[in-house]
Amino acid sequence: MLIQDILRRKRNAEVLDADAIHTFMRGVADGSVGDAQIGAFAMAVVLNGMNREEAIALTEATRDSGQVLRWHDLNLDGPVLDKHSTGGVGDLVSLVLGPWIAACGGHVPMISGRGLGHTGGTLDKLEAIPGYNVTPDDDLFRQLVKDVGVAIIGQTGTLAPADKRLYGVRDVTATVESLPLIVASILGKKLACGLDTLVMDVKVGNGAFMPTPDASRELAEAIVAIGSGAGTPTSVLLTDMNQPLADCAGNALEVHEALRLLRGDGRDSRLYQVTHALATEMLVQAGLATDAADAATRLETALASGEALERFSRMVHGLGGPSDLAERPAHYLAPAPFTTDVVAPRAGTVNAIDTRALGLGVVELGGGRRNAGDAIDHRVGLSHIAALGQRIEIGQPLLRLHATSRAEADAVSRRLSEAFTLGEPAHAVPPELIHATLRQETSS
Catalytic residues: 82-85, 122, 170, 185, 189-190
Report d(CA 67, CA 29) in Å as an integer: 11
Gyration radius (Cα) of the chain, Å: 22
Single-letter amino acid, residue 369: R
Start-to-end Cα distance in the chain: 44
With both helix axes pointing from N to C terminus, report the angle between 52-63 and 161-172 in degrees, rounded to the nearest 10.
Answer: 120
